[in-house]
A and B are shown apart, each in its own frame.
Chain A
């Protein structure tokens, strides 16, 4: 973990900024609220109640307690890092807030659920999402499914009527919740026995904090949330967490580690695919030790990046052409498994898979050696067992592949400048280059800025330029489930994590976050700009506006259906002004219609975020035709997985 360091602004302002204290969010919102007060009374402002409420001291509950308070106390004891919600499930969210758990209220349950997912993707810590019964709950479904695909340990909470009126349509908002989340959770339960509320909190956290994570969904009927308990004896189960779950992790057998070391020793070009399990088990130090001891390349996959820094000479994240050379692949914590041919490896490569779940080893991809273990324990054991070995030719090949990838990106940029000038707008290669220049090639510390990498076509360009130098630096937004649109939701969560300084974000507390999204995606989550502004979470949201869904060619001539009659369904009105939506919601707006204007707009936005905690929406005007490989080669770029371009697995 890098040492805590002061946050730097852009080169526009070199004044240093040091964010302090656990109450950063409250203090920030408070000062911003004061600054925003307008004597006319009609300016957008954060009401005083927001900083006042955030500044309130926690009031942890003690007996007598309600069921909601018992549950909230269990969440606090388990270290629940944050709650993201829209109002509803009132007893539970209020109790969680009173416990002193960081809470954020946003505009839709769906995007607050994505915010919780985004928070976890950049911290590794469990966060919760909550919504009201019926519509609030069903609004979360896309985000729950996305979290499930990403194997996020997400606690999904929702109120759900009363047990007494089960199966009636008394009142409103009736829905059977647990069947709805079937197939998109690790565990779920409608709590029907108030006396067991603490026990089911234990069920939830046992699932969230062990093995391969996925969402856990609890729905709270009124009787459970409201039940009053005068003492622990009123509960059927009220144990300390050390009694209802264990911190013990599965460790590898010495025999399997010896075999792995032998296979690695015989390989000429070994590579480790470091995926979600490496991040969640915080195995980055062990990973680096193994890699350096054996000159083993490392490439990342999964919903977050940075557990093996891109700057490391053994990183293959930006060396796609070297992947096909690997003769041995160690899949470490690869929960979302690729099938044969989905990862760019040699067909005769030997595979070792490290996974805490024996029942998943061998699924989709044949393995030559399976190791059932916590990823960290396995990598630590491998670090011990591996004899030092140098593989200079492999290092050289990785370096050459990285250089070749950089050259390809530079060629895209050269073309992007030309196309921008020809078309009178901004090509995505220009946006990608400018973001890379600001974040990694200027005065900002390279490891400072956490990025939410979203969008569709734009992401094919920006992913190639985004870099990660420490754990949790990139949230790979469109991972596996491929939901287009939760990007601003993820930004709320990632931004809250940085603002709070949770987990690996601790050294960067208060730094701006940057998000990339598209015009189609922005429509799903753009209202959460208001949430960013309300909490003064400093974010720069880059909206690539090409007047169309990214798949517009499918409705024209590029897709399988090939029917021009369908084209209108893929298009938006042209020149929509998304930055004005940002302004209307309390953020800044930047409109960029020329390539040369993007970098200055980005710098101004970073400056405003760092200095004033103001978020900005940068609307980058482009044209849909940039995705045509015939008119603007290379058009919509393809991807190579694993590595910096990956988002399927």
Chain B
């Protein structure tokens, strides 16, 4: 695949390294309306779609949380959690520096997309923090009082 932008090359290389390491499985990349679309199996053995828009310096994990209407308290909690990723009280290795990355959640008809936007074009930092961010949502935030949501939507065993 022809990579048109140095940023694309960097992001592709960084994600591929996670696939070679074995963290991601069934890894693939294709071009989708001018953007790079990565697919891989990762947390909870689920397929993830990560879209990189080089023009906007944005990495988007598309539709990571299904069936979560914006009016639900859980989504409000998620927004607080997302905002809290930049909290100055977090240790540096857990914190997203707001001057370097803009972190967001977006809800479209109950489907939640998580994204980070690089402000300094440091792709090592952006990719690493984007992965940590989603990892924290799955292994931190979702371990809150959302057992029923997990069972219904993310394949959590009832037992």
Binding site for B on A (CB under 8 A): 268-269, 320-321, 324-325, 327, 339-341, 344, 346-348, 365-366, 393, 397, 456, 482, 484, 551, 553-554, 558-560, 629, 633-640
Contact = CB atoms under 8 A, between A and B. Distances in A.
B43 A341 contact: yes
A326 to B, nearest CB: 10
Contacts of A456: 159
A347 B23 contact: yes
Contacts of B145: 629, 633-635, 637-638
B131 A348 contact: yes
Contacts of A482: 159
Interface in B1-24: 18, 21-23
A450 B151 CA distance: 33
Contacts of B18: 347-348
Contacts of A320: 143
A413 B141 CA distance: 21
Interface string B16-42: 001001110100000000000000001
A649 to B, nearest CB: 13
A370 to B, nearest CB: 13
Tell me whether chain A's interface is mostly helix, strand or loop, or mixed: loop
B147 A636 contact: yes
Given A397-B91, A640-B139, A348 B132 contact: yes
A629 B91 CA distance: 30
Interface of B: 18, 21-23, 25, 42-45, 91, 93-94, 128, 131-132, 135-136, 138-140, 142-148, 150-152, 158-159
Contact of B91 (A325, A560, A640): A325
A210 to B, nearest CB: 29
A514 to B, nearest CB: 24
A348 B128 contact: yes
A629 B93 contact: no
9 contacts: A341-B42, A348-B131, A484-B159, A551-B158, A559-B151, A559-B152, A560-B151, A560-B152, A633-B145
A629 B148 contact: yes
B23 to A, nearest CB: 6
A629 B151 contact: no
Given A341-B42, A347-B135, A366-B21, A638 B93 contact: no
B63 to A, nearest CB: 18
Given A348-B23, A482-B159, A633-B145, 13 more contacts: A324-B94, A325-B94, A327-B93, A340-B43, A341-B43, A346-B135, A347-B23, A348-B132, A551-B158, A558-B147, A629-B145, A637-B145, A638-B143
A324 B139 contact: yes
A324 B150 contact: no
Contacts of B91: 325, 393, 397
B93 A325 contact: yes
Given A324-B135, A341-B44, A347-B18, A638 B150 contact: yes
A558 B42 contact: no
Contact of B146 (A339, A553, A629): A629
Tell me whether chain B's interface is mostly helix, strand or loop, or mixed: helix
Nearest to A340: B23
Given A340-B43, A344-B140, A347-B135, A558 B148 contact: yes
A551 B146 contact: no
Contacts of A347: 18, 23, 131-132, 135
Nearest to A268: B93
B123 to A, nearest CB: 14
Contact of A340 (B42, B128, B148, B151): B42
B139 A344 contact: yes
A554 B22 contact: no
A320 B139 CA distance: 10
Contact of B158 (A559, A629, A639): A559
Nearest to B142: A638
Contacts of A629: 145-148
B155 to A, nearest CB: 9
A273 to B, nearest CB: 15
B144 A640 contact: no
A269 B93 CA distance: 10
A582 B117 CA distance: 62
A347 B50 CA distance: 16
Nearest to B44: A341
Contacts of B151: 554, 558-560
Contacts of A339: 45
A324 B133 CA distance: 11
A633 B74 CA distance: 12
9 closest residue pairs by CB, A with B: A366-B22, A341-B43, A634-B145, A558-B148, A629-B145, A344-B139, A551-B158, A638-B143, A347-B131
B129 to A, nearest CB: 10
A638 B144 contact: yes
A484 B158 CA distance: 13
Contacts of B21: 366
Most chain A CB within 10 A, of B18, B142, B158, is at: B158
Most chain B CB within 10 A, of A551, A629, A635, A640, is at: A629
Nearest to B128: A348
Contacts of B45: 339, 341
A646 to B, nearest CB: 12
A559 B91 CA distance: 37
A22 to B, nearest CB: 41
Most chain B CB within 10 A, of A339, A341, A393, is at: A341
Contacts of B159: 456, 482, 484, 551
Most chain B CB within 10 A, of A347, A348, A397, is at: A347
A563 to B, nearest CB: 13
Contacts of B147: 558, 629, 635-638
Nearest to B25: A340
A640 B143 contact: yes
Contacts of A636: 147
Contacts of A325: 91, 93-94
Given A558-B152, A559-B151, A321 B140 contact: yes
A492 to B, nearest CB: 24
B139 A554 contact: no
A341 B44 CA distance: 6
Given A340-B42, A348-B128, A348-B131, A324 B140 contact: yes
B106 to A, nearest CB: 22
Nearest to B89: A400
A559 B151 CA distance: 6
Contacts of B139: 324, 341, 344, 640
B143 A341 contact: no
Contacts of B148: 553, 558-559, 629, 635
B143 A324 contact: no
A341 B94 contact: no
A393 B148 CA distance: 37
Contacts of B23: 340, 347-348, 366
A565 to B, nearest CB: 17
A456 B147 CA distance: 14
Contacts of B43: 340-341
A347 B128 CA distance: 9
A366 B42 CA distance: 13
A340 B26 CA distance: 13
